[in-house]
Structures are given as structure tokens and as C-alpha cells.
């Protein structure tokens, strides 16, 4: 199915950057010479591709956990979810500067809580970036009662995490909820019973690629 798409092909987060780059290229071209403006035009093209934000086809299966970002899988492991204080299946997606940086909800669910931590800016491909870097976490609960934690993590170059939802918000699988500027990662913590589909090294696409499959809950959650 088509994800709700109330935004343009070029993400609104990039409009100012694109406008400034084009204005600078035009100014240099008119005032100094068009050959001198070539590097600035190349920079403008790079910025334009960085802020592209295409619509995506979302899998219909309600068990599917879709990728919250474009990029490469750098971790699939049993890990500790520091936000919900539980053992979990962790799947991490690393985004380089050539990936789409719009972030999408991995599941249908209600935002139970949102946390922000102002950390450092290590290379987002490193495992320790998950606990050391600046990050923003969303605790999502699916209609079936499954808890999923989705964490936006800043990287070496990324200096701005944007998240547009808070506690009480309802998100559809594949729905846009945020953006990270210039290289980063997104960690997803799932119940241990989830069945992973993605493996390390896979190239994934936000809202389209399935990271794992959720199984029905076997017991009621203790969290409220």
C-alpha cells in the first residue's frame, strides 16, 4: 500500500539548504564567472539528492517490521534495550550521506514515550554510537501489544536529529516521523521472539524493506 505522503519529493528540511546553494551558485556565476560556479553547482546537486524523500510502497502484512531508514544493516543481535530495560532483538541501519534520511515508523503503533539524550558524535557505524551519541528514542506499542523501540542516532557528520511526534501520537507503518541531517543510524529494538529477516550487510529502504516479523504476544506486558 502507499504510505501517507503529505510532503514533497524534496524534504522540507532541505529547502533552505537547497535555496542557499542555488543562490550562491547563481551569484558566483553572474559576478565572477560560470566556470567558477561549477563547484557550487555540484554542491547544490549533492544537497538536492541528500534531501530527496520519495514515496514508498509499504508491505501489507501487519506482522512486518519495516526499516525506519534507508541504508545498510550493521547489526542484528540479541542486545539490551536501554530504554525499556529488557533483552531485545536489535537491528541497526547505518545511513551514509548518499542515502535518503527521512525516518519512517517501523510498525503500526501508539507512541507511549519519547526520550532525548544529548550525547557525542562518533562514527555512526560503530556499535558504541548507540549508547554514546546524541539520540532520540520512541517507544511504540502495536495494536497487538508488542513493544518496539526506534532510536534515531546522530553520527560523525550529522548534527541535527528531527522528530515530529511525541507521547500519544498514532503512527502507521511506513509513516514519516522525523529526519536526520547528513549521515547517521537508526536502531530498532524488538521483542526477543521476533523473527529477523535482515542480515548484516543488507541494503534496506525505509518503509519498504522488512527487517523482521513480529509474533503474537504470549503474555500480557507489564508496562502501561
Q: Is 10 exposed, middle or buried (0-12, 13-18, 19+ CB in 10 A)?
A: middle
**Distance (Å) of CA 80 to CA 84, 149, 218:** 9, 11, 20
SS3 sequence of 64-119: EEECCCCEEEEEEEEEEECCCCEEEEEEEEEECCCCCCEEECCCCEEEEEEEEECC
Q: Which pairing describes strands 135-141 and 109-117: parallel, antiparallel, or unpaired?
A: antiparallel
Give ∠ CA 181-63-77 in degrees, rounded to 5.
60
H/E element, 147: strand 147-154
Q: Is 77 part of the annotated catalytic residue set?
A: no
Q: Which of 37, 67, 184, 209 is catalytic?
A: 184
What distance in Å separates the CA atoms of residue 201 and residue 198, rounded to the nearest whole number?
9
CB 4 within 8 A of CB 19: no
Residues with catalytic roles: 184
Amino acid at each position: 500500500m502507499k504510505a501517507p505522503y503529505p510532503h514533497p519529493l524534496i524534504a522540507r528540511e532541505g529547502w533552505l539548504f537547497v535555496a542557499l546553494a542555488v543562490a550562491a551558485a547563481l551569484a558566483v556565476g553572474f559576478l565572477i564567472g560560470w566556470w567558477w560556479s561549477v563547484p557550487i553547482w555540484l554542491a547544490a546537486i549533492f544537497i538536492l539528492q541528500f534531501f530527496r524523500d520519495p514515496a514508498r510502497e509499504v508491505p501489507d502484512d501487519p506482522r512486518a517490521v519495516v526499516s525506519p531508514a534507508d541504508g545498510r544493516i550493521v547489526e542484528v543481535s540479541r542486545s539490551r534495550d536501554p530504554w525499556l530495560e529488557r533483552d531485545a532483538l536489535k537491528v541497526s541501519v547505518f545511513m551514509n550521506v548518499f542515502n535518503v534520511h527521512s525516518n519512517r515508523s517501523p510498525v503500526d503503533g501508539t507512541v507511549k514515550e519519547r526520550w532525548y539524550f544529548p550525547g557525542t558524535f562518533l562514527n555512526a557505524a560503530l556499535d558504541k554510537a548507540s549508547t554514546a551519541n546524541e539520540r532520540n528514542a520512541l517507544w511504540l506499542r502495536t495494536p497487538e501489544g508488542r513493544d518496539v523501540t526506534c532510536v534515531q542516532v546522530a553520527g560523525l557528520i550529522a548534527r541535527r536529529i528531527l522528530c515530529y511526534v511525541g507521547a500519544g501520537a498514532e503512527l502507521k507503518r511506513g509513516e514519516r516521523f522525523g529526519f536526520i541531517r547528513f549521515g547517521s543510524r537508526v536502531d530498532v529494538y524488538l521483542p526477543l521472539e521476533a523473527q529477523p529477516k535482515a542480515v548484516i550487510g543488507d541494503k534496506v529502504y525505509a518503509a519498504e524493506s522488512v527487517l523482521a516479523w513480529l509474533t503474537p504476544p504470549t503474555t500480557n506486558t507489564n508496562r502501561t
